[in-house]
Amino acid sequence: MLFLGFFLCAVIIYTSGLGYVPISFGNVFKIIYASLFDHAAIVDHVDRLWPTIIMDVRLPRILTAAAVGGGLAVSGVIFQGLLLNPLADPYTLGVSAGAAFGASLAILLNISLIGTFSVPIFAFLGAVATLLLVTYLSASSGRLSSNNLILSGIIVAAILAAGISFIKYIADEQVAVIIFWLMGSFASKTWTDVALTVMVVCLGFLVFIYFARDLNLLSLGNRTASSLGVGTQRTTLLLLVTASMVTAVCVSVSGIIGFVGLLVPHMMRFVTGPDHRKLLPVSLLAGAILLLVADTVTRAVLPEEIPIGVLTALIGGPFFCYIFRKRQAGREQSL
Amino acid sequence: MGFEVKNISFFYGKKKIIDNLSIRLERGRFYGILGPNGSGKSTFLDLLSSHRQPATGGVFLNGKNLTAYSRKQLAKEIAVVPQNFHINFPYTVADIVMMGRYPYIPRFARPAAADLALMEKVMHQAEAFEFRHRFITELSGGERQRVVFARALAQDTPVLLLDEATSNLDIRHTMALMNQVSEKTQRSDGLVIAVFQDINLASVFCDELVFFRNGAIVDHGRKDEVLNPDTIRTVFEVESHVEFEPFSNARQVIFRR
Decide if A331 touches B, using CB distance below 8 A: yes
How many domains are there within chain B? 1
Per DSSP, chain A holds a count of helices (H) and strands (E) of: 15, 0
Q: What is the pTM of this model?
A: 0.86
CA gap A119, A255 in Å, rounded: 10
- Split at pLDDT 50, 70, 90, the class of A57 is confident
Alpha-carbon distances, residue A84 vs A90, B91, B96, B123 (angstroms): 14, 13, 16, 26
Determine whether the interchain pair B138/A335 forms a contact, defined as Cβ–Cβ distance below 8 Å. yes
**CA geometry: angle B237, B243, B248, nearest 5 deg:** 115
Determine whether the interchain pair A226/B51 forms a contact, defined as Cβ–Cβ distance below 8 Å. yes
Cβ contacts of B102 on chain A, cutoff 8 Å: 213, 216-217, 228-229
Q: What type of residue sits at position A60?
A: P
Cβ contacts of B51 on chain A, cutoff 8 Å: 222-223, 226-227
pLDDT at A335: 40
φ, ψ of residue A334 in degrees (nearest 5)? -75, -15
Q: List strand residue ranges (DSSP E) for chain B, in order.
A: 2-12, 15-26, 30-34, 56-61, 64-65, 78-81, 159-163, 191-195, 208-213, 216-222, 241-245, 250-254
CA gap B136, B95 in Å, rounded: 9
Considering CB atoms only, which of B75, B85, B92 is closest to A228? Answer: B75
Q: What is the pLDDT averaged over residues B112-131?
A: 92
Give the pLDDT confidence of B131-190 residue by residue, as tens digits. Answer: 999 999 888 888 999 999 999 999 999 999 999 888 889 999 999 999 999 988 887 789
Give the pLDDT confidence of B203-246 residue by residue, as tens digits. Answer: 999 999 999 999 999 999 999 899 999 999 999 999 999 999 99
CA B147 to chain centre: 15
> What CATH number does the domain containing B141 carry?
3.40.50.300
Helix (H) or strand (E) holding A103: helix A95-108
Determine whether the interchain pair B75/A227 forms a contact, defined as Cβ–Cβ distance below 8 Å. yes
Range of the domain at B15: 2-255
Q: Is the dihedral of CA B50, A144, A263, A301 positive or negative?
A: negative
pLDDT at A40: 67
Determine whether the interchain pair A221/B82 forms a contact, defined as Cβ–Cβ distance below 8 Å. yes
DSSP B48-60: HTTSS--SEEEEE
pLDDT exceeds cutoff 60 at A333: no
Q: What is the pLDDT averaged over residues A52-60?
A: 80
Say which range, A5-14, A218-227, A285-294, B185-194, has the weakest mean pLDDT: A5-14
Considering CB atoms only, which of B80, B87, B91 is closest to A227? Answer: B80
Decide if B85 touches A, using CB distance below 8 A: yes
Alpha-carbon distances, residue B176 vs B141, B147, B183 (angstroms): 17, 14, 11
Q: What type of residue sits at position A276?
A: H
Determine whether the interchain pair A274/B91 forms a contact, defined as Cβ–Cβ distance below 8 Å. yes
Cβ contacts of A227 on chain B, cutoff 8 Å: 49, 51, 74-75, 78-80, 82
Decide if B71 touches A, using CB distance below 8 A: yes
pLDDT at B194: 95
DSSP A24-68: -HHHHHHHHHHHHTT-GGGGTTS-THHHHIIIIIIHHHHHHHHHH
Determine whether the interchain pair B80/A213 forms a contact, defined as Cβ–Cβ distance below 8 Å. no
Cβ contacts of A220 on chain B, cutoff 8 Å: 85, 87, 96, 99
B43 vs A53 pLDDT, higher one:
B43
A307 vs B192 pLDDT, higher one:
B192
- Split at pLDDT 50, 70, 90, the class of A179 is confident
CA gap A71, A82 in Å, rounded: 16
Burial of B241 (0-12, 13-18, 19+ CB in 10 A): exposed
What is the ipTM score, two decimals?
0.86
Determine whether the interchain pair A217/B107 forms a contact, defined as Cβ–Cβ distance below 8 Å. no
Edge-to-edge order in the sheet of strand B30-34: B78-81, B159-163, B191-195, B30-34, B208-213, B216-222
Cβ contacts of A221 on chain B, cutoff 8 Å: 82, 85, 87
Interface residue of B11, B83, B88 to substitute, partner A, most A CBs within 10 Å: B88
Closest chain B residue to the Cα of A210, Cα to Cα: B107
Decide if B11 touches A, using CB distance below 8 A: no
